[in-house]
Each structure stands twice: as structure tokens, then as C-alpha cells.
Structure 1
């Protein structure tokens, strides 16, 4: 998994009825775009994320 600042981390809900979660990657702490990522969530809080198999990186447009 590779990401850059400005990309979005999309975490899929693991059960039927659980919503997906999206967050903006504000810092990449691994080498060459590898995890972990500092992610800003829509409510404004930030967390360090080590993405699992239920996550995908959506590249920023442009």
C-alpha cells in the first residue's frame, strides 16, 4: 500500500449495515509512501492508522 499527503484512506465497513469511513492522509510516516499514516477524519480528530485489508487508498485528484 502506497499513499501521499492529500490522498484519502477509505475504510470499508466490515459488517452489513456498518458505514464506510473516509479520512484525509495528512502525514505519511513510512518509507516511500508506506504506512503508518496520520489521518484527519471528517469530525476533525486525527489518528495514526496502520491500514488493514479492509482499507484502500484513493489518490488525490490532479
Structure 2
């Protein structure tokens, strides 16, 4: 679950990078615009993954020897 959440957060971060640098929304371009249900689903999954990844900040690290 952690890896899937991190992958979605990375996808979201790269999408925001493209929006910031080139004013181009990759998710909207791939899935038919910002208001299409597929794009909104991707945005929602990325947002939920970001919320889930907040838990990674507060998790205890396993000590490896």
C-alpha cells in the first residue's frame, strides 16, 4: 500500500511540475479534460494517496542491523 500511495503522489507531483512550468495538465490531456470523470478520479486518488502518505511522516522506522 505504501508503494502504491507513493507512486500516486509522485504522479501528482510530476503533473503539478508540468502545470507550473508549461501550464500543461498531463492528467487532463490523457483523460479528456479536467472535468471528465476519469480525470477527477485520478485527482481524487492522488489526493487520498497524499493524505495516506502523511502517515509515513509519523511512523517509526525499523532499525536494520
TM-score between the two structures when normalised by the length of structure 2: 0.23
Higher Cα Rg, which structure: 2
- Could you say which structure has the higher strand fraction? 1
- Could you say which structure has the higher helix fraction? 2
